[in-house]
Amino acid sequence: MQMLVFITKQTECINPILADLLNRNISGATVIDCEGMLKAINESSIDPPPVFGSLRHFINPGQETVKMLMIIPRDDERLALVKQIIHEHAGRLDRPNTGIMFEIPVTNVEGVSKKS
């Protein structure tokens, strides 16, 4: 069993991904708001941020929150389908600033419906 994690700045693609998952009878995804390391350091640092951090904040001051989608599909077939749906809505992840997707092995799960 695998947990699929998808992290993206393309927040507009998350709701269509979730809708498509539901349309294909895949449930159980969790979406979490998060932020990148540079933004977190820049906002919480007592010391003035380096020039790069300042320029980045100046160039894109209203940067949206990053979204993280996590899901544990019940089998490999559903895992492949979830990845396909993410690619359909987010595009190719090898392009800059599109996102990252990875799988983490899960050895035990409690509190998850067998139907998900």
What is the predicted pLDDT for the residue at 30? 96
Q: Which residues neighbour 101 within 8 Å (Cβ) at sequence distance 6 or greater?
A: 4, 5, 6, 7, 83, 86, 93
What is the predicted pLDDT for the residue at 63? 59
What is the predicted pLDDT for the residue at 6? 98
Q: What domains can be seen in the chain, in order of their start residue?
A: 2-105 (3.30.70.120)
Per-residue model confidence as pLDDT tens for the chain (116 residues): 999 999 999 999 999 999 999 999 999 999 999 887 766 666 666 555 555 555 555 555 555 679 999 999 999 999 999 999 999 999 989 988 789 999 999 999 888 776 65
Task: Answer for the pair 96, 88: CB distance below 8 angstroms, yes or no.
Answer: no
* Interior/surface letters 45-76, b for 16+ CB within 10 angstroms, e for the rest: eeeeeeeebeebeeeeeeeeebbbbebbbbee
Q: Three-state DSSP class for 32? A: strand
Inter-residue long-range contacts of 41-47, CB under 8 Å, 24+ positions, other chains counted: none
